[in-house]
Amino acid sequence: MKRESGGEQMEFQGKGPDAWTVGGHRFSSRLLMGTGKFQDTETMVGAVLASGTQIVTVALRRVGRNPREDDMLGPLGELKGITLMPNTSGARNASEAIRAARLGRELCGSPFVKVEIHPNPHHLMPDPIETFEAAKVLAAEGFVVMPYMPADPVLAKRLEDVGCASLMPLGSAIGSGRGLATAEMLRLILRDARIPVIVDAGLRSPSEAAAALEMGCDAVLVNSAVAASGDPVAMAAAFAQAVGAGRNAHRAGLMPQGGGTALATSPLTAFLSVEGS
């Protein structure tokens, strides 16, 4: 048993390979990683590697007067099999997000963009209207649009309709660590979604990530849960294992919940006759 191998997702014993597709691109890892809040680049890169992730979000900032800060793109760009996904975090409205997306594409060379628009700097909840507007424009420009969104089933279909490549509903507020507070909404979104559903924000523990996958989500994105943990590299590996376990469980089919219906004293079906016609 390879317990020490960080990032390796356990092979599913039963059915075949389990890749997922978004925006026409195929991925095997169902764990996406954010790169913010880490103490240093080295830890961040270590965690990314340990997670086995293939999609990593990054943000854009202006180059300072004295550009001696760490360069993100270098170390990340050197890793094989990683797709960089700029987020538009910092944008407070659609036009700012659209601008950020275009800059991000120029810098990363990747058509992926995570549309993230949170005008309120405290709870950081995504603005549904600005997000929709930005997604519409960017999808038309050929971006692979992954919108960070409130877990709203109707908004989900509207974003699908305008050409988003996936949905990224929040589990709970960014950094709150409240897990899958939106579970019931996520179920509704999953029921009718035609594009991948990636739970993003609010996850704190690997078990929550597993639960998201068990529920039927296609992937999860974690950032704070790893960066702010005691040992980010180890935690990243733990998340990878949890995502694999959750996915395997979903494919295997969970046993039914207990609590069967107690039969009423007078049966409801007494009226059914035996006669044929």
Instruction: List interacting residues with another protein (CB under 8 A).
Output: 34-38, 41, 44, 57-69, 71-74, 76-77, 84, 86-87, 89, 102-103, 106-108, 154, 157, 174, 187, 190-192, 194, 201, 216, 221, 223-224, 255-258, 260-261, 263-264, 267-277
| Smallest separation, CB 223 to another protein (Å) | 4
Cβ proximity to another protein, 13 vs 66, nearer residue: 66
Q: Report residue 118 CA to chain centroid gap.
A: 17
Nearer to another protein (CB atom), residue 161 or residue 231: 161
125 φ/ψ sector (left φ>0, alpha ψ -120 to 50, else beta)? beta
Contacts of 8 (CB under 8 A, 6+ apart): 2, 52, 240
> Which of 2, 15, 80, 114 is labelled catalytic?
114
Q: Which residues contact 42 (CB under 8 A, 6 or more apart)?
A: none
Question: Amino acid identity, residue 277?
Answer: S
| Residue (1 or 274) nearer to another protein, CB | 274
Residue number with CB closer to another protein (1 or 272): 272
152, 128 in Cβ contact below 8 A?
A: yes
CB of 69 to another protein, least distance (A): 8
Contact present, 198 and 220 (Cβ < 8 Å): yes
- Residue 67's contacts (CB-CB under 8 Å, 6 or more residues apart) are none
d(CA 165, CA 175): 25
Measured from the CB atom, the residue of 8 and 157 that comes closer to another protein is: 157
Instruction: Give the nearest distance from C-beta 232 to another protein in angstroms.
Output: 12
Q: How far is the CB of 237 from another protein (least distance, A)?
A: 19
Determine the Cα–Cα distance for residues 139 and 130; give it in Å rounded to an integer: 14
For the beta carbon of residue 166, count every other beta carbon within 10 angstroms: 24
Q: What is the DSSP letter of 149?
A: E
Q: What is the pairing mode between strands 168-169 and 198-200? A: unpaired
Nearest distance from residue 85's CB to another protein, in Å?
10
114 is catalytic: yes
Please give the structure tokens belonging to residue 268.
């409801």
Q: Which residues are catalytic?
A: 114
